[in-house]
Amino acid sequence: MSDLTTRDEGATPDHGHSAPEGVNPDDLARPLYEGPGALPAADIPHRPRRSDFDPKAARRAERQVSSLFLLSGLMVVLFIVAYIAISPQAEVYVPLFGVIGAQNFALGLTFGLAIFCIGAGAIQWAKKLMPDVEVVQERHPLASTPHEDVEAEEQYERGKEESGFAQYRTIRRTLITAMVLFPLPLIVLLRDLWSPRGGSLTASPSEFLSTTAWVEGMPIVTDGTYQKLRPEEIPVGGLVSALPEDINEIQEAEHNLNARGKAAIILVRMEPDEIRSQQGEGWDYQGILAYSKICTHVGCPIALYEHRTHHLLCPCHQSTFDLADAGNVIFGPAARRMPQLPIGVNEEGFLVAKAPFAEPVGPSFWERG
Amino acid sequence: MKALAARRRHPAFLALLLLVALLGVGVAYAGLSSTAPAEAVATADQTAIDEGKRLYLEGCSSCHGLNAEGGTAGPTLIGVGAAAVHFQVSTGRMPMGAPGAQAPAKPPDYNEAEVAAMAAYIASLAPGPAIPTAEDLDYSDADVAQGGVLFRINCAQCHQAAGGGGALTQGKHAPSLMKATPQEIYEAMLTGPQNMPVFADGTLPVEDKQAIIAYIVDLQGADSPGGLSLGRLGPVTEGLFLWAGVMLAFVGLAVWIGIKAR
């Protein structure tokens, strides 16, 4: 029995199939489904295409399809010619795109057209020349027949019998043990997902995520130029991206950028009376505040600081932090405030960290709670 | 004056008085022997300040106050310096056309001489960042690569890696740098216009500023490798282009495939 039931009883006999045995042709004239959302498409009378009855139109369609395929072949030849003939340095002016590389443009254009012409030819062929009949696909229930159910059950029982799975208890138990143990290496390897300090595996990942390179007395240096900073160098309204002084040595020793990624901070200065609250008493230095540069949502580095509103905006998901108010979240998906670094000056007058970060920087993680 | 009077009997007072008198005579002599140019400059300065004050009272004082002390509509201009005046007025940001989240750049309302006069007036109120000299703006020896590093650390977060500008909070935005002149860039870093933070010489020395300017000038002359720059805004416009443009083309193609042939 065919899955496809044709609906074009009036069309040419070689298109489609006749009604299956035992089915009343009158039933097929009605839509199979008449409930809500029923499509009237099945009732639309079949309208033959011009190419179905006009041999001239059929030949024209044939020519269209074959010339599209030929055009595709020509484009492939042109592609190869362009690859050989056009210098990679040559440039060409294309309206709308401006001056661009001539070879790249020709290669892309010819190859794109080559594949497009194959597709367009195939669609034109299907639309104009291939059999054009309205079909309804019948949907059968997905459940197996009772006979198939019984057969499957019998096969299962026979397999159990023949393998002796039920009979050899030791084999069964050792096999289950082996299968349970097998995924363990994959789980153990997950331990490699963090890089432990000094190659030791004793530090837990949560400890690694909770600590940064900032320690008490660590001088603050500018990012990019690595100059130590004096408080008088930062004006009110100023912004400085900064790092701990020893960041380059740590980076070299660890062969990665993790320490830099966690320790990045920004320094901003506002009038001391503009600071409404801080994460700790006296954690600023004369209005200079140090905050982590890593967004607590998913860890984008952020320094979009508006010095009049004191808002810090993350460009990734628009989390906004108020640096005049202890770095609290005032908008966006971030769930935690921006961690603040307590700062002061050392005896030489340079800005230093007074203590490490009091809370983990960056996005939340499982053990953080 | 009271403090001065109290210290009149100090033993060092006589020596100090003598020193001041001698200096005064020397300066007066030097001034007299080359009177013409010095006085001319002083008069020109004073003329500019007066002219600047007149323009200020006319065009700025309604928001910034009769003595530039600021008010609810505008911040104080005492101590902002000539550089801030030049940046804000010569880019047309000030005077602001209408209240809003941010003053947009527009064709300037004042010519260079008028801007200079207003800058002179504001600079005469209190010391502040001066308009950068030609020497400050000479970026010909600057390290473009280092400028790129500094740009990505200090500027790219708001102005985008390619200088196309970007959105900030509540209707504010960081403008595109594609048409900014070296002087405007320098003055913006020095004064922190509107919500831009200040990048003072202490944390970003003159040679670093020149390197950043050299990098931005390099960006301004850079080609767009893909042909279309799409505003250099990054994934936002690229995504919009794909959805609005290419998806529309795909919908058209799908419609053509689905149309019944005649």
pLDDT digits (tens, 9 = 90+) for A183-198: 999 988 887 766 555 5
State the smallest CA–CA distance between residue A319 and chain B in angstroms. 10
Calpha distance B196→B247 (Å, rounded) = 38
Q: Is A2 inside any structural domain?
A: no
Q: Note whether A96 contacts B: Cβ–Cβ < 8 A.
A: yes
Q: Give the one of B208, B228, B257 whose C-beta lies nearest to A225's C-beta.
A: B208
Question: With an 8 Å Cβ cutoff, is A232 touching chain B?
Answer: yes
Q: Which of A62, A226, A232, A234 should we substitute to test contact with B (largest number of B Cβ atoms within 10 Å)?
A: A234
Instruction: Classify residue A149: in a domain, yes or no.
Output: no
Domain boundaries, chain B: 27-125, 144-222
Q: Which of A136, A163, A193 is the last residue of a domain?
A: A136
A195 within 8 A of A217, measured Cβ to Cβ: no
In this complex, is the C-beta atom of A314 within 8 Å of any C-beta atom belonging to chain B?
no
CATH number of B27-125: 1.10.760.10
Q: Decide: A241 and A264 in contact? Cβ < 8 Å.
A: yes
φ, ψ dihedrals at A357, nearest 5°? -55, 140
Output Rg (C-alpha) for chain B, integer angstroms: 27
Which stretches in chain B have pLDDT values below 70?
1-11, 13-14, 25-44, 225-227
Gap between the Cα atoms of A246 and A149, Å rounded: 71
Tell me: do A237 and A349 sit in the same domain: yes
Report the domain count for chain A. Answer: 2
Question: How far apart are alpha carbons B77 and B70 in whole angstroms?
Answer: 7
Same domain, A213 and A356: yes
Instruction: Looking at the complex, report in whole angstroms how far the Cα of residue B237 sits from the nearest Cα belonging to chain A.
Output: 15
Q: Are residues A330 and A226 in the same domain?
A: yes
Tens digits of per-residue pLDDT, B203-261?
899 999 999 999 999 999 887 766 677 777 777 788 888 889 889 999 999 998 888 77
pLDDT attached to residue A3: 44
Any domain includes A313: yes
Can you tell me the ipTM of this complex? 0.72
Quick check: A303 and B154 CB within 8 A? yes
- Return the bridge partners of A328, or none: A322
Between CA B192 and CA B174 the distance in angstroms is 12
- Which two tokens mark B249? 């083309």
User: What's the mean pLDDT in A95-100?
Assistant: 80
Residue of chain A nearest B262, judged by CA positions: A49
**CB-based contact, B206 to chain A, within 8 Å:** no
**What average pLDDT does range A268-297 have in this prediction?**
94
Looking at residue A216, its pLDDT comes to 94
A59-94 tens-digit pLDDT: 999 999 999 999 999 999 999 999 999 999 998 888
B146: chain A residues, CB-CB within 8 Å: 224
- Which residues constitute the domain of residue A105? 25-136
Both tokens assigned to A132: 């054009």
Asked if B27-125 and B144-222 have one fold, the answer is yes
Domain boundary (A104, A136, A168) is at: A136
Give the residue from A83, A117, A136 where a domain finishes: A136
- Residues 33-52 on B with a CB inside 8 Å of A are none
Cβ of residue B255 closer than 8 Å to a chain A Cβ:
no
CB contact under 8 A, A224 and B203: no
The per-residue pLDDT for A41 is: 53
CB contact under 8 A, A307 and B197: yes
User: Domain B144-222: which topology?
Assistant: Cytochrome Bc1 Complex; Chain D, domain 2 (1.10.760)
Q: What is the pTM of this model?
A: 0.68
